Structure 1
């Protein structure tokens, strides 16, 4: 499928890991790869020398090093680079709006500490209207699986969850991988019950069978669109974040949703997505939806 995957680089190992992941994904999907680095002169920059020419050469080197790395590993991928004369957050948000997918690096320290989301990544995630993937550079003692399931967390079983499932199934199809769709359920509070909901639960044989039935119905259009993708449906009682993470070992990618804010809503990531970003060992795709 045609399209563009954009990588935001900052000169760290984590952003290089993001470039590696994005290049592999571009090769699988037949997409172009765009490498960008947002740079404006910072007179008090403590990372590189304060001279603007030196800073600009360093910024250009960030792009050049990443370009050489991905073109060597994936010579068939069309790669372009651009030095963006803007602050990182607005620059990356503008890039995200134009790309099919934005990929960023994130500092990671394993399953316990998990991701350390920088302020730039966090602000971009909260405001982006297109999917964003966070990739961290694994520690030396961590396994680096090249294959595995696409694990997707689905709480919204109506059509609002469609973009999340669409992304997961497309990613699985590109990898010839299986999709594991995870949905957690819990006993609703008494005030949430109604005669209609009681009837549906009774007709389905209980709350868990009802949750399974609703998930199966939500997946039907995606099974039809991607008949080549093997699907596992996992429904379990418990915390949504815990159930999702317990199904993630060995996953190649975790896909979660983020509800787009309404006119008066705050820009929030959500507790399940927050947990996935901080504790999943694999790359995490955050897909906005209504």
Structure 2
């Protein structure tokens, strides 16, 4: 596997925001950045049309990634930037490209006024089938801003990064997901906020009241389990300040709330070997559509 940060670019504002985020990430990791612009050949009858001739099509398909690469080189002079334009269907090509990358970055579109974001079919398909971490970045300035803001509301290069947030399943924690989150916090020299949501036993949903003392016992028990899972990771990454958050309720809701003050949200996804469908799990799906920070989906067995 070639150690690169790869970004899918199609010229849209969301993919341009993803490219900018990917450039910063490549700089943090000391890795080259690969811009991938998937070229979908126009059907022959359309290619012969006066406004969609071969020369016009080639001009526009080459111009988009070339101008994006030139801009990134100017803004991030320390990053080695290359461009590839493989032909094919974007979802299939990007899933394949992800196998050869340290990290794949894609853009997602905001839904004005609805408090959510549109993860397109290509993005969902890639997240569902990629076997390497995929980061979804929304369009807009806030998505590009991972740093704290000064009193004037403007972040600077010297401002510290916001915390990294990790959604953790303590019933079946996966090392690759946890390690990714800790390393992201180290790269940003920031803290790690680990969020776990728990619920009372199912029979309480059928009219039985919850004794406050029993509820407190469950909360204490869950917090202890969370601390136990994280204990070896605290020892492995002693420089990372870890904040443990154990709350009753839906995990996805807690993660979306935490994303408002995060530089990155990290969630896991079980690898599915079936080529059919695009299931990514209910928590990852909800976080991808509603988190206000970039979301890294880390696949695991």
Contact in 2 for aligned 1:15/1:106 (Cα 8 Å): yes
Alignment partner, residue 184 of structure 2: 171
Residues 1:60 and 2:71 aligned together: no
Aligned positions of 1:266-277 closer than 5 A = 267-277=278-288
How far did residue 111 of structure 1 move?
Answer: 7.6
Question: What are the ranges of 5 or more consecutive residues in structure 1 without an aligned counterpart?
Answer: 192-201
Q: CA RMSD in A?
A: 2.5
Distance 2:12 2:269 in 1: 27
From the superposition, tell whether residues 263 and 137 of structure 1 become closer, same or farther in structure 2 (CA, over 3 Å).
Answer: closer
Distance 2:33 2:78 in 1: 11
How far did residue 228 of structure 1 move?
Answer: 0.8
Distance 2:163 2:51 in 1: 44
The secondary structure found in structure 2 opposite 1:96 is: helix
The secondary structure found in structure 2 opposite 1:40 is: coil
Aligned positions of 1:206-245 closer than 5 A = 206-245=217-256
Number of equivalenced pairs: 273
The secondary structure found in structure 2 opposite 1:84 is: coil
Residues 1:80 and 2:88 aligned together: no
Contact in 1 for aligned 2:170/2:226 (Cα 8 Å): no
Contact in 1 for aligned 2:271/2:299 (Cα 8 Å): yes
Contact in 1 for aligned 2:128/2:272 (Cα 8 Å): no
The secondary structure found in structure 1 opposite 2:235 is: helix
Alignment partner, residue 28 of structure 2: 28
How far did residue 49 of structure 1 move?
Answer: 4.2
How far did residue 206 of structure 1 move?
Answer: 2.4
Q: 2:164 aligns with which of 146, 150, 165?
A: 150
Q: Deviations over 1:236-289 (max 9, x none)?
A: 001111122222222111111111126699641111111111111111111111
Contact in 2 for aligned 1:258/1:288 (Cα 8 Å): yes
Alignment partner, residue 283 of structure 1: 294
Distance 1:124 1:265 in 2: 12
Distance 2:38 2:234 in 1: 40
The secondary structure found in structure 2 opposite 1:112 is: coil
Residues 1:187 and 2:189 aligned together: no
How far did residue 14 of structure 1 move?
Answer: 0.8
How far did residue 93 of structure 1 move?
Answer: 0.8
The secondary structure found in structure 2 opposite 1:152 is: strand
Q: 1:246 aligns with which of 237, 246, 257?
A: 257
From the superposition, tell whether residues 264 and 106 of structure 1 become closer, same or farther in structure 2 (CA, over 3 Å).
Answer: closer
Q: Deviations over 1:9-63 (max 9, x none)?
A: 0111111110100110111111111011110311348xx9422332222111111
Q: 2:121 aligns with which of 119, 122, 127?
A: 119
- Give the TM-score taking structure 1 as reference length: 0.86
Alignment partner, residue 195 of structure 1: none
Distance 1:266 1:221 in 2: 36
